[in-house]
Homo-oligomer: A and B are copies of this chain.
Amino acid sequence: MEPRTLQLMELQTQQQMELQAQQPTEEGGSIQAAGSSANTPIRPTNNRWTPTLDQLRILQELYYDKVLKSPTPEQIQEICLHLQQYGQIEGKNVFFWFQNLKARER
């Protein structure tokens, strides 16, 4: 499979990021497991992870500005830890995110 000549999929042509209004609710800070509501989940799906706007912004900054295309496990861990304040996220999510973006950049 030769991918060289393909320039498909503009990276983030139109990220479906609905700026859903922040729930002004005052619910307690109890951690919601894989649920969704406390930390701006963005998408109503429960199964797969979706970055919050803040997470996405940071990830893109790392990728494009800092030119970090393939983070090491340590970096992944570090990034993940940092992003957790913006919503639920695991190391593998970070890993996949970078891997996918890199693969689709061409």
Binding site for B on A (CB under 8 A): 1-20, 23, 25-28, 53, 60, 72-74, 76-77, 90-92, 95
Contact = CB atoms under 8 A, between A and B. Distances in A.
**How many copies of this chain sit in the oligomeric assembly?**
2
A48 to B, nearest CB: 11
27 contacts: A1-B72, A1-B73, A3-B73, A4-B73, A5-B73, A5-B77, A6-B73, A6-B91, A6-B95, A8-B76, A8-B95, A9-B92, A9-B95, A10-B25, A10-B26, A10-B27, A11-B23, A12-B23, A13-B26, A14-B16, A15-B18, A15-B19, A15-B20, A16-B16, A16-B18, A17-B19, A19-B53
Given A4-B73, A15-B19, A15-B20, 10 more contacts: A3-B73, A6-B91, A6-B95, A7-B91, A8-B76, A9-B92, A13-B20, A13-B28, A15-B18, A16-B17
